[in-house]
């Protein structure tokens, strides 16, 4: 039988009525002739509640017991979904991570997949089971302990099962009906995309679009798992939602497919540092050790002399990072200066910036994308602080107060309200 993977997020299984609604969608796919693996998240809010209980009980908790507690949310949902399907006459069984088994590393709280053996689930399908309801977000360590997979774990679980079982498709049911050209709450002209390439989705996810987690898109691209994003709360058919697929399935692409943005950015500049080999390593090494996620980097060359302690070329270094990592970044740089690993005259932090990006595989074959982007921002009198580019992306850092205006201006400039 052809096999389908269906994943339901926390809002899609938030209560018994929503679990029943999700079960009805699963039943329809069974009636179409599929064997189905359903991946479920914990009911909305339950994971945060469980984490809170752990932290109240033991602030310096044992990570192994943290995972044992937090993984239980998905177990409850899986059992309830299997019971609902059985009540509807669909042969279904729930599976916890250790029963499959979903083999992972031992990194509790952020485990990675090692492999997913098919034998146990395949045997039950052979016996007449039509639906395997698997608890997402969890697995089994080599030591036989329950592990959890960290942020986006259930999406990643779904993609991993689709790859392991050679599923026809992996359907991700959520509270939105697909992937849009930008956030509809920012631009009323945002349009739902019928298809988007893995690379574009990966860029959008990493740039702040919260429809899919980056890890799940990376895994889908690696194993060529066709993903479909669609709403749990609407009637759907085989043409609903947005298909995330290989570039070869997309006939012609516009230069830009979407506009992504992130409000929670900060810009940090180090003034008058030595312009010498190894200085970048001396700056970004301590930042990496402190767990700071550095994004955009710009170096400005200056021929100005150093102060009385040094002479020679100096430079300024600017980079961006998430705003909640600024304190860590500042401490890492100040500690490195105190240890005489780096020298700088001044450290300036700007926490009032936002990142706006245009993304599209069509950039490879369309000239003038950067010029059009900069013209659109200039027309709105929006100053650009930092620019970075890749083959399919251009990102700029601007004052946060202009973020929504920039998104709307770029959406209009690239005509994203119209299909290709």
Is the distance from CB of 271 to CB of 218 less than 8 angstroms?
A: no
Tokens matching residue 71:
């993984």
Could you give the strand order of the β-sheet that contains 195-197, starting from the edge strand earlier in sequence?
A: 92-95, 131-135, 35-40, 3-8, 169-174, 227-231, 242-245, 195-197
9: left (phi over 0), alpha (psi -120 to 50) or beta: beta
What does the alpha-carbon distance between residue 49 and residue 92 come to, in Å, rounded to a whole number?
28
Residue 167 is given by DSSP the state -
What does the alpha-carbon distance between residue 265 and residue 355 come to, in Å, rounded to a whole number?
7
Annotation: binding site for ATP = 7-10, 174-175, 180, 185, 210-211
Is the distance from CB of 45 to CB of 75 less than 8 angstroms?
A: no
- For residue 272, CA distances in Å to 21, 22, 260, 313, 329 come to 61, 59, 33, 9, 18
The CA-based angle 318-321-322, given to 5 degrees, is 155
Annotation: binding site = 7-10, 47, 74, 174-175, 180, 185, 210-211
Annotation: binding site for substrate = 47, 74
The CA-based angle 388-394-396, given to 5 degrees, is 60
Residue 241 is given by DSSP the state S
What does the alpha-carbon distance between residue 181 and residue 193 come to, in Å, rounded to a whole number?
7
Burial track 190-203 (b if 16+ CB lie within 10 A, e otherwise): bbebebbbbbbbbb
Three-class secondary structure of residue 217 per DSSP: helix
What radius of gyration do the chain's Cα atoms show? 24
Lookup result for tokens 């009525």: 17
Q: Please, what's the largest Cα pairwise distance for the chain?
A: 83
The CA-based angle 119-166-95, given to 5 degrees, is 45
């Amino acid at each position: 039988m052809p096999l389908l993977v269906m994943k339901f997020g926390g809002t899609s299984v938030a209560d018994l009525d929503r679990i029943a609604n999700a079960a009805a969608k699963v039943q329809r796919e069974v009636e179409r002739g599929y064997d189905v693996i359903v991946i479920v998240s914990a009911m909305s809010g339950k994971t945060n509640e469980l984490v809170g209980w752990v932290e109240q009980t033991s602030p310096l908790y044992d990570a192994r017991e943290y995972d044992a507690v937090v993984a239980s949310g998905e177990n409850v949902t899986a059992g309830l979904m299997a019971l609902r399907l059985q009540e509807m006459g669909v042969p279904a069984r729930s599976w916890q991570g250790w029963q499959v088994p979903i083999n992972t590393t031992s990194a509790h709280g952020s485990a990675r997949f090692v492999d997913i053996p098919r034998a146990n689930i395949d045997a039950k399908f052979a016996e007449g089971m039509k639906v395997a309801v698997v608890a997402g977000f969890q697995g089994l360590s080599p030591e036989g302990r329950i592990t959890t997979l960290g942020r986006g774990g259930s999406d990643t679980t779904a993609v991993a099962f689709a790859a392991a079982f050679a599923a026809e498709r992996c359907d991700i049911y959520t509270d939105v009906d697909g992937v849009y050209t930008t956030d509809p709450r920012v631009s009323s002209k945002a349009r739902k995309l019928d298809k988007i390439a893995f690379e574009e989705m990966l860029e959008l996810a990493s740039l702040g679009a919260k429809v899919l987690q980056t890890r799940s898109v990376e895994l889908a691209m690696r194993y060529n798992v066709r993903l479909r994003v669609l709403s749990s709360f609407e009637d759907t058919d085989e043409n609903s939602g947005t298909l995330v697929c290989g570039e070869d399935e997309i006939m012609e692409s516009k230069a830009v497919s979407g506009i992504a943005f992130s409000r929670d950015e900060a810009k940090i500049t180090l003034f008058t540092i030595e312009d010498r080999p190894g200085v970048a390593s001396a700056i970004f090494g301590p930042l990496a050790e402190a767990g700071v996620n550095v994004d955009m980097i710009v170096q400005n060359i200056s021929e100005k002399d150093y102060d009385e302690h040094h002479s020679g070329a100096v430079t300024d270094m600017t980079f961006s990072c998430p705003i909640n990592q600024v304190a860590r970044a500042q401490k890492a740089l100040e500690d490195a200066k105190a240890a005489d690993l780096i020298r700088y005259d001044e450290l300036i932090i700007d926490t009032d910036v936002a990142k706006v990006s245009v993304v599209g595989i069509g950039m490879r074959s369309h000239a003038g994308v950067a010029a059009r982007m900069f013209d659109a921002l200039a027309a709105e009198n929006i100053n650009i602080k930092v620019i970075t580019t890749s083959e399919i992306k251009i990102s700029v850092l601007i004052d946060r107060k202009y973020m929504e205006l920039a998104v709307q201006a770029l959406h209009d400039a690239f005509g994203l309200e119209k299909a290709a």
